[in-house]
Amino acid sequence: MNSIQTRTLSNGIILVHRQVVHTEISHVGIMLDIGSRDEDLAEQGIAHFWEHMAFKGTQKKNNIQIINRLEIIGGELNAYTTKEKICFHASVLTPYYERALELLADITFHSTFPQKELEKERSVILEEMSMYYDSPEDAIQDDFDELLFPNHSLGMNILGTNQTVQGFQPKDLYEFIERNMDTSRIVFSSIGKLPHEKVFQWAEKHLGHITAKKQQLKRTAPQAMLPERKVVKRGVTQSHVALGRQSFEIANPNRMAFFTLINLLGGPGMNSLLNVSVREKHGLVYSIEASFTSYIDSGFWAIYFGTEPNQVNKSLKLIMREFDKLQQKTLSAPALQKIKSQLKGQLAMAEEGNLNFMLMMAKNLLDREKIESLDELFLQIDEITSDKLQSLAQEMFVPDQLSYLIFEP
């Protein structure tokens, strides 16, 4: 962590750089604390639309120049939108670091949203929406958000609707940005071999001129909702099932313990309880996973699987059986230690990827105003007890408090 330093520009933009000497690649990103939850009902999808249109022209460059700026030196330029964040990021050989930084600053703050390119990108996004709709594994997760957060922006699809996307014009993008841009909620994040002073010098050069802007955050927490069961005829071959409920926000003290519990239940390890039971022992699914997502003021957990229609109920009974085990009996000390060791290893390997670490630093600074070291995370894991995991299972894994969404043939 000593290799990580932060600064704040006079306009409020936060800078963070981690110096990693033994690499020839630099990763840089600009992350804004703006996402699809900041949209109004009539502008669903506009944050994602902005992400796309940022590549289509600035005051200095047209779309082809933007594409070629890093491609011709073997670099990569990318972006993504989530419920609470928009991020533009690039990866380049270190001699081209300033080129990447300049380009990111240009597309983030100086996009012009040319009408001709907007019409083309509208078609691209509509195709993207069709692709997701045709993929039940993706569509059910988006639809489950809506079930868990009804009448709230957290439940709105990041891509938007056909109607909203069809209507976007350049003025809508400018108005959305003007309404939400807050330079104190922007992080420039960087990782690579360059010394901190050189990075901060270039960041000041390319980001220091951005006009300071402060906005009052208008987000409202979602209301607690009653469980709902919804079955949708989708013409799919398999049945696809999502079940879960609202849960803990980012700063909640139960978050790490619950993350550990979800990891045990259905995390990425092939030895997760659900994978062993539903797939390995009974052969009912190809894959089954549990996830836990936290937002600044809310969160949810979910289990997803696909199976033959006549095996849905049996699969659900097996899931309930695992719930019951976690609720009725505390884990032994050796079992708890194995779970903790597995999670620590997963977190450590995730930090090995410099790109992911760069993005993580930015998100942590926006969400928690600090970067948690691996040692700090390990200490949080060490403090988790079997009694705590059992208590969380009893609180969160109550069958009649869960919502269900099922896509049927």
Q: Is residue 222 part of a domain?
A: no
Contacts of 271 (CB under 8 A, 6+ apart): 342
Strand order in the sheet with 288-294: 229-233, 403-408, 239-246, 299-307, 288-294
25/87 same-domain check: yes
Tens-digit pLDDT string for the chain (409 aa) = 459 999 999 999 999 999 999 999 999 999 999 999 999 999 999 999 999 999 999 999 999 999 999 999 999 999 999 999 999 999 999 999 999 999 999 999 999 999 999 999 999 999 999 999 899 999 999 999 999 999 999 999 999 999 999 999 999 999 999 999 999 999 999 999 999 999 999 999 999 999 999 998 889 999 999 999 999 999 899 999 999 999 999 999 999 999 999 999 999 999 999 999 999 999 999 999 999 999 999 999 999 999 999 999 999 999 999 999 999 999 999 999 999 999 999 999 988 899 999 999 999 999 999 999 999 999 999 999 999 999 999 999 999 999 999 999 9
Residue 298 is part of a domain; what is its CATH number? 3.30.830.10
105/149 same-domain check: yes
196/285 same-domain check: no
62/106 same-domain check: yes
200/293 same-domain check: no
Vertex 362, ends 216 and 377: CA angle to 5°?
115
Which domain covers residue 400, as residue numbers?
Answer: 229-408
193/233 same-domain check: no
199/246 same-domain check: no
pTM: 0.96
Distance CA 409, CA 308 (A): 10
155/203 same-domain check: yes
